[in-house]
Amino acid sequence: MSATRTSVLTAALSTAAALAALGTTAPSAAHAQSAQRFSVQASGLAVGTRGEAYEGMKAGPGFELQVRYTPSVWSFGVGAQSSTHSLDDTALGGEEVTLAGAFFEPRRVFDVGATSYAPYASARLAFLRQSIDLEVEGTPVSASASGAQVNLGGGVLFRVSPRVNIDLGATFGVINFGDAKVTVPGFGSVNAGSAGSGQNVVMRAGVAVGF
């Protein structure tokens, strides 16, 4: 009987030790991104565009706000983003195109043995609306198109304090817009056909605060 008790106790201790070891493999990476399960992040963006959907658009600045849930080395964020882009055609009078919408972003942080920083890989699914307001021969005209965008990339999280992290990252994405809608006051809206597809490169610098 005592042998049985000893073997059970030994197995229990071994299992507890194994679980403890597993528990200590993630903290440096998890803590490098957030010591709290929930955080709020604000970031500045630099967005470059190319492709038929973005023909004539220049790179532009933007911003994003998101709330993140971090249960482990995985982190999940939801938020909103926006950027503005001037046009190559100066004859239009300096109007800007706005890209804005909502997104979902999962991340996976990698443990590199440091508690002050950690690299991560990320993906993002966003639904964006491209819009512009301009005047054509004195008549106000607005045009817009919406589409789904997928981005892949990564970055590095720097731990400033137990509640504050700096996020530096970059992603590359593709988007496919639906039909463009053109609205003219007094004439209603007209379907102008597919707005096409495009690509983007997004550079991000942000601050995340845990709570």
Summarised one tens digit per residue, pLDDT across range 92-106 is 666 899 999 999 999
pLDDT of residue 16 exceeding 90, the answer is: no
Rounded to whole angstroms, the Cα distance separating 189 from 92 reads 21
100: amino acid identity, one letter: A
Predicted local confidence at residue 186, as pLDDT: 81
Question: Which residue range is the domain that position 142 belongs to?
Answer: 2-210
- Mean pLDDT for 162-168 is 95
* Per-residue pLDDT reduced to its tens digit, 62-79: 999 999 999 999 999 999
pLDDT of residue 34 exceeding 80: no
Single pTM value for the model: 0.80
HEC assignment per residue over 176-209: EECEEEEEECCCEEEEEEECCEEEEEEEEEEEEE
Q: What is the CATH number of the domain that holds 150?
A: 2.40.160.20
Mean pLDDT of 101-126: 96
Q: How confident is the model at residue 4 (pLDDT cuts 50, 70, 90)?
A: very low
| Residue 115 clears pLDDT 90, i.e. is over it | no
Question: What total of structural domains would you count in the chain?
Answer: 1
